[in-house]
Structure 1
């Protein structure tokens, strides 16, 4: 124990995890890693950091998934330690820092530590890292575990402890330990206070195509107000905690509860309210104050404790990022919360005694919810993560021990984005530009807009726009410029945090002149960050307008932005047709863009080329100027020979050879060649659709040139084209192997019908001939060097089928007698001899045969 040891007995008074400290200390005597599993509110976040600090001389860093949790945990430990915040105990979050040289325990967000690792891979002066709330599976936490696994290969003295309320402890232990020796697990179990479960299903749907319904928000507020009045009658010192999926729903429910709940102090708790208001909620109720109803997001689910709560009202909804691979976008999706999350929420009511939870769903819906939340790494945009890994020297996470690998498809999309930004080279390694972007704590696309946009529109405006887009701030009516005006006025709740972020970002780029009131550059900055989201209006309706993005996605918008021609879109998300003006996606934030700005921001997406296509049997060409999928102009032109050939090839590969009209001669030749390929193989050509499309230049080159120059497809002689595929000298035997006609005993030469080129192997060549022309024919002819017997369709004098056989001798000796008995009366003028072997074959009637 060092001279700067914390008084663990005083700090742990009343905290159940104090009983597990000896076990953890003994474990760390023999291991430099451990997994701590303990329920929320037991004190692990308060006690484990000072324990580790008391065992070393260096600093202990504790990560939290959210800024408010990091600040709250630091303030709580400093208070229990009796030291001013920012001395022995401090914190660092984005835009705020309270640490000193003598700080022993520093609480940070996972993102802060990730970027610190890029600058100091060895974590000099740090003796231990505690990763808290691992079960939430935040992307930055997963990445941090991977990077620390490599740091510990160089620093075997670095202690790493993973902590969570509920987690797959064995799996985490295998990752933060070694393959031979998984990290020891400290499982602290505490008898839970009784929890009463109540169900209050909503009479209206929770969700519709626009998100959370107003009717459901009314229901949650009504349930909350009624339950709160009932609770405070019996427990005047108790508070109510209400879980909603997002900040908008928090505000809506809080407003409704205020309207219904006289005598209640209704508070909001989410990441977008000022830090001071967050801290006031977390500190708890002062003596004599009104009972509190705290409406919160998942923020209070596990990463911080709100004291005094005895009742939880749970919407059982959750909001999480979801990547839409088809449209190349990531947005927030609201759906049923996982059962494990709901259990965590309910546990907030039993911290200090018996509690209750009211779930605003029925039991069947609750049981149908997913058991656990999906890890962020599986559903989120990975551009920022991929850049960080490239800067670390492990592109794509190669060589790192991670809980889950980065999904292949999402990683490929992220690498494409980084390549377009010039942030990585062909091997996936970070370039100088990539390292510069990584030093800016925001998405690399926004970092690019800040760096490249500042010299054009001014560093202040660039910083303001990037702070707005990177800060998850509300954008009313999807209009970023108007949201910026509101933030500058200071009238919005987010204004202070936004201004601090903008100041910090402005200091990261070279100062450049730019008027604060000038909003003309907002669209340009967005287009720099997201050039593939430049959008052109394609339809205007009473509900709004539909825009086509350069990426090919269609998205709707309403309000004033629906009236403009061009937009730079910052955020687009999936939505229903009604919510997105019939487009299936909705624009959530954008700004007006001029064509000149578009050309400056996205010149790499602009093309000016002739587009030729083959349709209706002819080649049609247009000269098109495009930005991605958006056609800016299109005029008809004459296709060059090469463009025409390419258009025909594309059409053939898309539609196959059915686009041609095959003459009887060409079709017959193709069928004959198909039989030879089937029975003999090479060198006879493959004339199936795929085979012919693959060898277009070998047999159709002159015809392709003719089509390219305007000749209609109907004029092509495909028979001559196919003959170019005949192999020499084998082609000299074509008529011998697969003759066009077969001479029958009557002297007639009957056309042989060969099976279609794509028929199965059992299909045979067919000769349809009148029965009388084959009298006395015993030996069934065989084609292709005797490989294939001909199948005879023996016809009546009227040309109707009488029998099908490939064994003429057996037919004359057996079935013929039955055919003769049935047909001689119907066709008396034609010969039906008793002995077909002795009869003369003929194609005529009996009288004409005699003459």
Structure 2
């Protein structure tokens, strides 16, 4: 085949690739979609290894891509899949003793690496589509770099990418760094058409993709069919939208409308990837974005949406969410129209919106749930990934949440080391929560039913009315999705070390049991006086008004929930019933009995409480709560409700203000007496009085003045009246009160009649002379006459004008020309 290869752009880069592998053992191939890298790079590597033997393993991010690539390459060789070229994907293996090139999903290679890092019989690994940055792909790349550095320096490694991050990938997989073979694309020209929706029609709302937007996408497809020749490839975000568009296009004329997504049986996938007798419209999820070639396509209609993993780390609610497509993904989608001839792309958004799209999709490691990722790290022996060549470090908060989940599941210990239970879970190629549900659920409900429910959960099947039991019964009856589900059930059941028989539990409770084992934090009890639920995790949850099937049940296990920004509760998308006994068994690690002492509604409430996570199961009063717990509860109440709960006398307020002034003016050792400081150190100044409080009335008896005096520093406290006096004597002889501000940052004020200041030559100063008083000088009638902090300047200047005015208004009073020598 290499002697007479198909005319593909990547041919020009094959000599450089083989040279790089001979000299360095690693290489990065950067080539746009449609250049033939998936078709020609694997046989070029295999031919290079012809004398040495060994298999070339090629990874693909999706099962459908692995199968399609194997079929295409086998067809070019004139063979069937399973001879020279084979594939291994979940539930489907076609490999023979003479297989030289094996296409696998990234997850399959990850499992092999965990079982035996030396990869016996494998001479080279080609990682395709590394730019998609899926978690499995990032991990597999990091593990392979580790393997080459430790046990297999002869293992050849090729990373292939369709985007511009090749240099960073090259630096990650080899410290030199690895050579980069850049293959320019030679796609046919693709004409762009902008087709934004009508005003008021949004591509995404709080419920997902609105029907009116799908109507617009269908109208755009009809426009493309009318204006352009060739088959049409339509991109929508998920399986539900594929089905919705198929219904809308069912009467589109003399064309075949076909679905393409990962849940379809292999036969139907192959049908969409094969030319037909008539013109076709292939409605696809992102599986056709890269790796796959859909023959005959000349037109792409792009809805501009993508479904990506996101996780609410605080509430542990991982989900797939619909987001706007990135610019790089939009370019890849458009390129599908120019693989075989000039084509056209219809984008269901405006040119102005296109400029504001994100340049690239976020790597899964930055946004996805990392529980499975962290279990893989633990199984590899690098608990935090610090020793691995990861393209991006995982977010610390997401790792902490994932490790906490794994400890709860018994998969790792407190140090992060994997347990025997964790190793068993790691052998099940699914999310660790589902692996736990399969292993433990088999004992509780029987092997077959546990596998049925886990297969249902793993495939993210939408439950009618939110009722997961109804979804299971529908699959058992058969239908379009039943075959792939049935295959998954058999695969999962085969992974069990034993096959426990069916238990007497009803299907309703059996489904709920498995869901509860998978997600103990999502076990929920109905709140009193309403239709909403409280999860064990502490998150509220409610069914949609249109989903009444399970609403009102006392206990449920929630399989899928989504909490949108700003919403009070998560929305339950699927659940199953459980009872309290099942809940306690499934979430036994979250059961606790504690003595709870809190400040609520102006009093101490002391109870012995039994909880399942955040759900209160029972409570009895505590007659004699521990003093330290009472003190902590009162302190917490003061922190929440403020220091105004205390009885602040005038004397206490005055002392606090003087202390605040000295803290600001002099600093240590004068303490900070602001709200935050007093609340943080409440034990230190109120002390044992807190433990005797039972209600607001008791708080009213606390001697706040005496408590504040405990904070005065000794021996400096002996100078309090000198440094921050309550009163200052004026020349006439009487003492006038000084007004200190509430925060201590304000300048102290002395309000005094102007005549009482006669005889002062300068402004009195406080705090060892550091802070002058702010003098409010008053008329004989105690009205403002002047304000100054510099009395000497006032006497020599503004006083003359003030004297003239006051002599006219108060002629019987003495107004000397020299106030410094005048009698007060």
With the length of structure 1 as denominator, give the TM-score of the two structures: 0.90
Deviation of 1:436 after TM superposition, in Å, equals 1.5
* Contact map agreement 1:64 1:108 (CA 8 A) in 2: yes
1:768–1:223 CA distance, 2 compared to 1 (3 A): closer
* Contact map agreement 2:664 2:744 (CA 8 A) in 1: no
Deviation of 1:801 after TM superposition, in Å, equals 2.6
Task: Indicate the residue corresponding to 1:688 in structure 2.
Answer: 674
Task: Indicate the residue corresponding to 1:147 in structure 2.
Answer: 143
1:534–1:213 CA distance, 2 compared to 1 (3 A): same
Task: Indicate the residue corresponding to 1:17 in structure 2.
Answer: 10
Is residue 2:483 matched to residue 1:483?
no
Task: Give the counterpart of 2:195 among 200, 206, 210.
Answer: 200
Task: Give the counterpart of 2:298 among 306, 310, 321.
Answer: 310
- Partner Cα separation in structure 2 for residue 809 and residue 52 of structure 1: 95
Is residue 2:50 matched to residue 1:50?
no
Is residue 2:83 matched to residue 1:91?
no
Task: Give the counterpart of 2:780 among 797, 800, 804.
Answer: 797
Task: Give the counterpart of 2:262 among 254, 268, 271.
Answer: 271
* Contact map agreement 2:645 2:696 (CA 8 A) in 1: no
Where 1:720 maps in the other structure, the secondary structure is helix
1:228–1:772 CA distance, 2 compared to 1 (3 A): closer
Task: Indicate the residue corresponding to 1:717 in structure 2.
Answer: 703
Deviation of 1:621 after TM superposition, in Å, equals 4.4
- Partner Cα separation in structure 2 for residue 835 and residue 44 of structure 1: 100
Deviations 1:351-392 (A, max 9, x none): 222222222222222333222222112111111011101111
- Partner Cα separation in structure 1 for residue 395 and residue 630 of structure 2: 40
- Partner Cα separation in structure 1 for residue 727 and residue 781 of structure 2: 21
Task: Indicate the residue corresponding to 1:770 in structure 2.
Answer: 753
Is residue 2:577 matched to residue 1:574?
no
Deviation of 1:623 after TM superposition, in Å, equals 5.2
- Partner Cα separation in structure 2 for residue 227 and residue 812 of structure 1: 91
Alignment of 1:734-773 (within 5 A): 734-756=720-742, 758-760=743-745, 763-773=746-756
Where 2:193 maps in the other structure, the secondary structure is strand
Deviation of 1:440 after TM superposition, in Å, equals 0.9
- Partner Cα separation in structure 2 for residue 186 and residue 765 of structure 1: 76
Task: Give the counterpart of 1:498 among 479, 485, 491.
Answer: 485
1:731–1:342 CA distance, 2 compared to 1 (3 A): closer
Task: Indicate the residue corresponding to 1:248 in structure 2.
Answer: 240
- Partner Cα separation in structure 1 for residue 767 and residue 227 of structure 2: 95
Is residue 2:317 matched to residue 1:335?
no
Question: Which consecutive residues of structure 2, in runs of 5 or more, have no partner in the other structure?
Answer: none
Is residue 2:382 matched to residue 1:394?
yes
Deviation of 1:141 after TM superposition, in Å, equals 0.9
* Contact map agreement 2:128 2:161 (CA 8 A) in 1: yes
Task: Indicate the residue corresponding to 1:507 in structure 2.
Answer: 494
Task: Give the counterpart of 1:293 among 263, 278, 281.
Answer: 281
Where 1:396 maps in the other structure, the secondary structure is coil
* Contact map agreement 2:753 2:779 (CA 8 A) in 1: yes
- Partner Cα separation in structure 2 for residue 699 and residue 820 of structure 1: 50
- Partner Cα separation in structure 1 for residue 358 and residue 594 of structure 2: 50
- Partner Cα separation in structure 2 for residue 313 and residue 588 of structure 1: 30
Farther off after superposition, 553-562 or 568-577: 568-577
Task: Indicate the residue corresponding to 2:224 in structure 1.
Answer: 227
Is residue 2:26 matched to residue 1:33?
yes
- Partner Cα separation in structure 2 for residue 517 and residue 741 of structure 1: 83
Task: Give the counterpart of 1:784 among 761, 767, 783.
Answer: 767
Deviations 1:789-815 (A, max 9, x none): 333323233332323334555545554
Task: Indicate the residue corresponding to 1:66 in structure 2.
Answer: 62
Farther off after superposition, 15-24 or 99-108: 15-24
Alignment of 1:397-412 (within 5 A): 397-412=385-400
Alignment of 1:415-494 (within 5 A): 415-491=403-479, 493-494=480-481
Deviation of 1:100 after TM superposition, in Å, equals 2.9
* Contact map agreement 1:791 1:804 (CA 8 A) in 2: yes
- Partner Cα separation in structure 2 for residue 774 and residue 40 of structure 1: 90
1:840–1:527 CA distance, 2 compared to 1 (3 A): same
Alignment of 1:347-746 (within 5 A): 347-491=335-479, 493-509=480-496, 510-515=498-503, 518-538=507-527, 545-558=531-544, 559=547, 560-575=549-564, 583=568, 585-614=570-599, 618-621=603-606, 624-633=609-618, 640-708=626-694, 711-746=697-732
Deviations 1:181-230 (A, max 9, x none): x2222222343323222233222332222211212212222332343355
Where 1:80 maps in the other structure, the secondary structure is helix
1:267–1:517 CA distance, 2 compared to 1 (3 A): farther
- Partner Cα separation in structure 2 for residue 831 and residue 487 of structure 1: 106
* Contact map agreement 2:34 2:187 (CA 8 A) in 1: no
* Contact map agreement 1:209 1:576 (CA 8 A) in 2: no
Deviation of 1:694 after TM superposition, in Å, equals 3.3
- Partner Cα separation in structure 2 for residue 621 and residue 628 of structure 1: 19
Where 1:224 maps in the other structure, the secondary structure is helix
1:384–1:41 CA distance, 2 compared to 1 (3 A): same
1:809–1:640 CA distance, 2 compared to 1 (3 A): same
* Contact map agreement 1:621 1:637 (CA 8 A) in 2: yes
Deviations 1:92-148 (A, max 9, x none): 111222223332211110011111101111112110000011222222111111111
* Contact map agreement 1:645 1:708 (CA 8 A) in 2: no
1:820–1:496 CA distance, 2 compared to 1 (3 A): same
Task: Indicate the residue corresponding to 1:100 in structure 2.
Answer: 96
Farther off after superposition, 605-614 or 696-705: 605-614
- Partner Cα separation in structure 1 for residue 601 and residue 527 of structure 2: 27
Deviation of 1:280 after TM superposition, in Å, equals 2.2
Aligned residues: 812
* Contact map agreement 1:331 1:574 (CA 8 A) in 2: no
* Contact map agreement 1:744 1:774 (CA 8 A) in 2: yes
* Contact map agreement 1:674 1:686 (CA 8 A) in 2: yes
* Contact map agreement 2:469 2:507 (CA 8 A) in 1: no
Deviation of 1:67 after TM superposition, in Å, equals 0.5
Task: Indicate the residue corresponding to 2:2 in structure 1.
Answer: 8
Where 1:39 maps in the other structure, the secondary structure is coil
* Contact map agreement 1:626 1:632 (CA 8 A) in 2: yes
* Contact map agreement 1:387 1:434 (CA 8 A) in 2: yes
Deviation of 1:68 after TM superposition, in Å, equals 0.9
1:170–1:779 CA distance, 2 compared to 1 (3 A): closer
Task: Indicate the residue corresponding to 1:187 in structure 2.
Answer: 182
* Contact map agreement 1:619 1:648 (CA 8 A) in 2: yes
* Contact map agreement 1:241 1:294 (CA 8 A) in 2: yes
* Contact map agreement 1:61 1:105 (CA 8 A) in 2: yes
- Partner Cα separation in structure 1 for residue 348 and residue 792 of structure 2: 85
1:305–1:517 CA distance, 2 compared to 1 (3 A): farther
* Contact map agreement 1:617 1:713 (CA 8 A) in 2: no
Question: Which consecutive residues of structure 1, in runs of 5 or more, have no partner in the other structure?
Answer: 1-6, 842-851
* Contact map agreement 1:453 1:462 (CA 8 A) in 2: yes
- Partner Cα separation in structure 1 for residue 662 and residue 299 of structure 2: 82
* Contact map agreement 1:645 1:705 (CA 8 A) in 2: yes
CA root-mean-square deviation: 2.6
* Contact map agreement 1:272 1:473 (CA 8 A) in 2: no
Task: Give the counterpart of 2:125 among 105, 129, 132.
Answer: 129
* Contact map agreement 1:265 1:293 (CA 8 A) in 2: yes
Where 1:802 maps in the other structure, the secondary structure is strand
Deviation of 1:313 after TM superposition, in Å, equals 1.7
